[in-house]
Amino acid sequence: MRICGTVGVLLLSMQAAAAQNSTLTGRVIDERNRPVPYASVGIKDSQQGTATNEVGEFSLRVASLPQQLEVLCIGYGATTLLVSSLAQPLTIRLPTSAVALPEVRVRNPEAEARELVQRASAKLLRHAAETFYGKAFYRQKTRNNGTYCEFFDAFYDVKFNNRQIEGWDLGESRYAVQPGGFTFTNFSALIRVVLPTFSRQPKREKLLVPLGPKALAQFDFTLKEIQTSQGRELAVIQFEPKPDVRQAAPSGLLYIDRQTAALFRREMTFSAGQLLSLNGVPDMQIEADEFRVVSDYLPLSDSLTRLASTRAQCHLVMRQASGKLDSTHVAANFFFYQYTPRLPGHAYADVPRKSKDLQQVMARPYNPAFWLDNAVLKDSPLDEKLIRDLEGQRVFRRM
């Protein structure tokens, strides 16, 4: 399965048509006509951009036409288009990246996988003291038994390093919520602090991660394939916790540059029963759960990368005291839309793990004008089912 992220390029353009503040819309699909979610789509050689949603759709405002666009996508090759009119939505088909099997390209695949993990861990540790800042957008959606019951958008000014988010200041926000059902009070903690990129002291972590000084002792690594795109070779390394590891640990994939050992993507799947607290839902027990978290990293100077986005999904099945099953699905998407220097007047406050996301959002004063013509929001379309579910319940109190 190929999930789009931040390597690989696609260009779009449009012929003539002078239009001011035009909006490009379209859909990104693969060679088998399947949607490509979370592809990074932006104006070439600029910082203006957006990402496709869960079904591969995107919307991007531009000052004029024609424009060259760029799509960065792990697992897919470069594609260019010239677009010059808004007559119809764009359909962009991405070719699969060239892939080589390890036994064809590498003399000792197991040794290379372990060496790359060791090099990537060492690089992250060497640059652990560096601090970055940026403006980010966070969206969280919750479905209970198939129907949306909670939704919120929030803008943050963020302080972070190559390990985790150190602090963020909440800016504008909006929400819609239907009381009832099971919801997470602090789901964003997964993105902020619970799942660091690497770990110095694994015993202190809620969940082990596959990068750090002790990663080779805690995980088995296998070189699955080598992807070639944009002149870069990415080693796709599968990881699994060793059989004797007793601490909660994920399985998944790492995408590491073979030459520089820079991390470009981390995919993790795990059962988080050990991480969940059911204090607010008495007489319930977990029947099944699965978490999936994908983080993408963009190139920086000196062959480094820094966090670009994190997407998290959780499917949770609970059994009530009556025996009835209750299904909850949470999807969260966090991405930087602009990197900045440290901004004056910002505390970049450390947010505790147990901080309640929705309570913070609901406590902020609502600024309707902010949401009327917000470029980031327009570039992040809501899916129609969410709007139908929550509008039908008339709970868009802050929309």
- Distance between CA 266 and CA 192 in Å, rounded? 15
Beta strands 22-30 and 90-94 are parallel
CB atoms within 10 A of CB 151: 25
Nearest to 8 by CA among 304, 293, 298: 298
Per DSSP, what are the bridge partners of residue 135? 157, 338
Query: What would you measure as the largest C-alpha separation in the chain, in angstroms?
Result: 65
Could you please state the CATH topology (level 3) that the domain comprising 10-96 is classified under: Immunoglobulin-like (2.60.40)
Provide the phi-psi class of 392: left if phi over 0, else alpha when psi is between -120 and 50, else beta. alpha
Q: For 363, which DSSP code?
A: H
- Tens place of pLDDT per residue across the chain (399 aa): 333 333 332 222 223 333 356 888 889 888 889 888 888 787 777 767 777 887 888 888 877 888 888 777 888 876 778 777 777 888 888 887 777 666 556 678 889 999 999 999 999 999 999 999 999 999 999 999 988 888 888 999 999 999 999 999 999 988 888 877 777 888 888 788 788 999 988 888 889 999 999 999 999 999 999 988 777 889 999 999 999 999 999 999 999 999 999 999 999 999 877 677 666 666 778 888 899 999 999 888 768 999 999 999 999 898 888 888 989 999 999 999 889 999 999 999 887 777 788 788 888 888 878 887 777 776 676 766 776 776 655 544 454
Report yes or no on whether pTM surpasses 0.75: yes
Give the helix/strand (H/E) hosting 122.
helix 109-126
Looking up tokens 């972590």 gives 205
Strand segments, DSSP code E, in 96-191 are: 98-100, 132-144, 147-160, 165-177
Nearest to 237 by CA among 87, 106, 91: 106
The reported pLDDT for the residue numbered 174 is: 86
Residues 6+ apart with CB under 8 A from 301: none
The reported pLDDT for the residue numbered 19 is: 37
Q: Distance between alpha carbon 394 and the CA centroid of its chain, in Å?
A: 30
Q: Are 109 and 102 in contact (CB under 8 A)?
A: yes
Q: For 191, which DSSP code?
A: I
Domain regions of the chain by residue span:
10-96, 132-392
- Distance between CA 190 and CA 174 in Å, rounded? 21
